[in-house]
């Protein structure tokens, strides 16, 4: 992982009055293949992606990795969330994040709470989503099977087999996305990526290699 530096910054988003904090890692040489936008759950922040080396791993594999602290959480605590927890936020929120960061179409990694942001973005700004990696996100029940079936974005559904609540509910709904694969992480709980970073990184990188 040598040669990969993680930098910190903030991005202004119209829907939030205060700027949002992010961490970013870039490949040490050459143009990045794609940008991967990493979101997080309610008890977490971009720091988790730093601690388990997801930012380094993605950058070392040639991707631009950006981990955002969501409004009201982590180092974006001062920012006002555009929706109440558990209610789908405007899809425009992540669109403004992408515009502010100049990402181009992104791969969105979305665990748990962040489903309230990533799912509306997926449905309302489909052209901005290169691929979708949901990890037992919330709000999957807020959309219909018909809505899911219209989305052709390549999707990797990941969950831990010990996550018997959100893991199974989200799988049932997300399975309506026609272009999906599923990775079940054995012995892992709700934040399965923290329980087994090695399997997590291997699964994500293998999926990313399939995106031309």
The helix-helix angle for 115-124 and 92-101 (nearest 10°) equals 90
Work out the end-to-end distance of the chain between its first and last CA atoms, rounded to an integer number of angstroms: 24
Q: How many distinct helices (H) and strands (E) make up the chain?
A: 8, 8
Query: What is the pLDDT, as a whole number, of residue 2?
Result: 56
Query: What is the pLDDT, as a whole number, of residue 29?
Result: 85
Contact 112, 73 (CB under 8 A): no
Tokens of 161: 């087999």
Query: What is the pLDDT, as a whole number, of residue 84?
Result: 95
- Which residues are marked as active site? 112, 163, 190
CA distance 28 to 31: 9
pTM exceeds 0.85 for this model: yes
Query: What is the pLDDT, as a whole number, of residue 164?
Result: 87
The one-digit pLDDT tens for each residue of the chain (212 residues) are 557 899 999 999 999 989 999 999 999 888 889 999 999 999 999 999 999 999 999 999 999 999 999 999 999 999 999 999 999 999 999 999 999 999 999 999 999 999 999 999 999 999 999 999 999 999 999 999 999 999 999 999 999 999 988 999 999 999 999 999 999 999 999 999 999 999 999 999 999 999 96
Tokens of 74: 């982590």
Query: What is the pLDDT, as a whole number, of residue 112?
Result: 97
Tokens of 45: 């922040």
CA distance 130 to 206: 15
Left (φ > 0), alpha (ψ -120 to 50) or beta: where does 96 sit? alpha
Domains of the chain in start order, with CATH, are 6-209 (3.40.50.1820)
Query: What is the pLDDT, as a whole number, of residue 3?
Result: 76
b/e code 31-52 from CB counts within 10 Å (16+ = b):
ebbbbbbbbbbeebbbebbbeb
Contacts of 147 (CB under 8 A, 6+ apart): 123
What DSSP letter does each residue of 148-175 carry, written as one string? HHT----EEEEEETT-TTHHHHHHHHHT
């Amino acid at each position: 992982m040598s040669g990969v530096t993680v930098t910190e910054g903030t991005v202004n988003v119209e829907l939030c009055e205060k700027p949002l904090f992010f961490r970013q890692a870039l490949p040490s040489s050459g143009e990045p293949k794609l940008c991967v936008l990493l979101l997080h759950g309610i008890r977490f922040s971009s720091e988790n992606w730093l601690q388990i080396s997801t930012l380094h791993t993605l950058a070392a594999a040639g991707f631009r990795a950006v981990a955002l602290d969501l409004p009201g959480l982590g180092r974006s605590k001062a920012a006002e969330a555009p929706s109440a927890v558990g209610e789908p936020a405007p899809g425009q929120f992540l669109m403004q994040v992408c515009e502010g960061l100049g990402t181009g179409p992104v791969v969105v990694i979305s665990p748990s709470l962040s489903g309230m942001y990533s799912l509306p973005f997926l449905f309302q700004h489909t052209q901005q989503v290169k691929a979708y990696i949901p990890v037992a996100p919330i709000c999957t029940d807020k959309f219909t099977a018909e809505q899911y079936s219209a989305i052709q974005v390549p999707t990797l559904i990941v969950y831990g087999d010990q996550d018997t609540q959100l893991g199974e509910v989200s799988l049932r709904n997300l399975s309506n996305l026609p272009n999906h694969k599923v990775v079940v992480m054995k012995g892992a709980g709700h934040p399965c990526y923290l329980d087994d970073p090695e399997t997590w990184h291997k699964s994500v990188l293998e999926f990313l290699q399939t995106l031309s």
